[in-house]
Amino acid sequence: MPITDFGSLKAAVAARAVRSDLDALIPDFVRAAHDVIVNRLALCADLTVDTDTVALPADARVPISVWVDGYPAAPLTPASEAQMEGLGAGAPQFFRVDGADLVFGPTPDASYAGRVLYKPVREMFVDDTDTNTALTRYPFLYLYGAMAELFAHVRQADERDRYLGLFTAGIDAANAAEREDLTAAGMLRPYAQGVI
């Protein structure tokens, strides 16, 4: 059974648990994994930047880096509202956060493909049908983290260490993949003295 939501995640943990009397604690084990994931994982999302204000992804807590495919292909610089006044129109070079929106400067003069790397919100699942981007992309992170917590609870250090290793390596691999997605569309562009 694939892990697609909170309910199927709890079922996957229960299927791998060594004891059936731990079922009531499984949401706690998932919560412990979730807290680590939302603090250590960064997610990448595509943006279409065709106005000066673009909504952040619904599950974004805070942006880490913003890229817009223009010239040069590089991360945008964070700036204050005052610093962004009077920039005119052109390829965006700066951004700021205004509530749940990214504001770009200069105002885009065309439609640009962009990406944002962000930390996900901290809200935990409530209903069995609840899911989030991290669970959708990396279901085994949640499984491995919850299993590490379960085996720590029953004091089986060898199994805890095995799942903790998988969990830690999984977070590192996921972060590397998301950062690669952030910069993958940035192409090398010709420059008078070589390639930048």
3-state secondary structure of 65: strand
Distance CA 80, CA 118 (A): 19
- Please give the chain's pLDDT, 196 residues, in tens: 799 999 999 999 999 997 889 999 999 999 999 999 999 999 999 999 999 999 999 999 999 999 988 655 678 999 999 999 999 999 899 999 999 999 999 999 999 999 999 999 999 999 999 999 999 999 999 999 999 999 999 999 999 999 999 999 999 999 999 999 888 755 444 444 544 4
Cα separations in angstroms, 91 against 33, 36, 69, 187: 40, 37, 9, 15
Q: What does DSSP assign to residue 55?
A: E
Residue 26 pLDDT: 97
Distance CA 136, CA 63 (A): 20
Percent helix / strand / coil, the chain, rounded to 5: 40, 25, 35
Distance CA 169, CA 163 (A): 10
Residue 70 pLDDT: 65
Domain extent listing, the chain: 6-41+124-181, 43-119
Residue 73 pLDDT: 64
